[in-house]
Chains A and B, each alone.
Chain A
Amino acid sequence: ENFLTQSPGTLSLSPGEEATLSCRASESVGRNNLAWYQHKPGQAPRLLIYGASSRASGIPDRFSGSGSGTDFTLTIRGLEPEDFAVYFCQQYTTSPFTFGPGTKVDLK
């Protein structure tokens, strides 16, 4: 099983600042099949990034993903009020597909 860890657990920032979130896999993620999701309480998770760096349909360009192998990063440039949420990563190459525990981006 490919275990994913995320850091930090919580990121306290102000609107307009940049958020850098990390996702690390215990094994290399083949084909960089790594996704990032945004999750707000009571809502369905929202796909942001797939293939480590491709934005999903309708996702603003302030969201960007990078990385390969075992280390991946989600960057949110110029935080908007609606960006304060939990973000989690997922690898979808190797079954069982696994998720990271999430990083909470909250208001400083």
Chain B
Amino acid sequence: QVQLQESGPGLVRPSETLSLICTVSGDSVSSISFYWGWIRQPPGKGLEWIGSLSSVGSPYVNPSLKSRVSISVDTSRNLFSLRLNSVTVADTALYYCARHGRGLRRPFDYWGQGALVTVSS
């Protein structure tokens, strides 16, 4: 069974960089059939797609975050990661990683349980 698990610091200072890792089991991030994505949910708000990538090609990123987001895949450790720089309190959210089905334009069929990241001094 495919499982995803987010990990990373739960507290980040304003203006610093948020870094999260999503460890995948039961599947390979090397598979060219699947895309892997990041989604977040600020407290009391709806879900926001951050970006997605596969093991080949360039990542796709939400234009609203494009200038601050970096997404990458590490096939040797079977994980993918998110970096969001210059964070503010508005970046406080529950961050999820998820797998698209076969292709970018497919729904998210497996999700992690989420990692809460708080931006605060």
Residues of A within 8 A of B (CB): 33, 35, 37, 42-47, 50, 56, 88, 90, 92-93, 95-102
Residues of A within 8 A of B101 (CB): 50
| Interchain CB contact under 8 A, B49 and A100 | no
Query: In whole angstroms, how far apart are the Cα atoms of A99 and B37 in the complex?
Result: 14
Residues of B bordering A, CB below 8 Å: 4, 39, 45-49, 60, 62-64, 96, 98, 100-101, 105-114
User: Looking across the interface, which residue of chain A has its beta carbon closest to that of B114?
Assistant: A44
Contacts of B108 in A (CB 8 A): 35, 37, 45, 47, 90
B68, chain A: closest CB distance, angstroms: 14
Q: Give every chain B residue within 8 A of A100 (Cβ-Cβ).
A: 46
Who on chain A is nearest to B97 by CB?
A: A44
Chain B residue, CB-CB nearest to A45: B111
Report whether B46 and A35 are in contact in the complex, using a CB–CB cutoff of 8 Å: no
Query: A98 CA to B114 CA in the complex, in Å?
Result: 18
B112:A50 contact, CB within 8 angstroms: no
In contact, B113 and A98 (Cβ under 8 angstroms): no
Chain B residues, Cβ within 8 Å of A88: 46-47
Residue of chain B at shortest CB distance from A93: B105
Q: How far is the CA of A27 from the CA of B60 in the complex (A)?
A: 21
Query: Would B60 and A95 count as touching, CB distance under 8 A?
Result: yes
B95 to chain A minimum Cβ distance, whole angstroms, is 13
In the bound complex, do residue A96 and residue B62 qualify as a contact, i.e. CB atoms below 8 Å apart?
Answer: yes
Q: List, in ascending order, chain B residues with CB within 8 A of A44's CB.
A: 4, 96, 110-114
A44 to B99, CA, bound (A): 12
Most chain B beta-carbon neighbours within 10 Å: one of A44, A46, A47, A97: A97
Asked if A96 and B105 make an inter-chain contact with CB atoms under 8 angstroms apart, the answer reads: no
Q: Name the B residues within 8 Å of A45 (CB-CB).
A: 96, 98, 108, 111
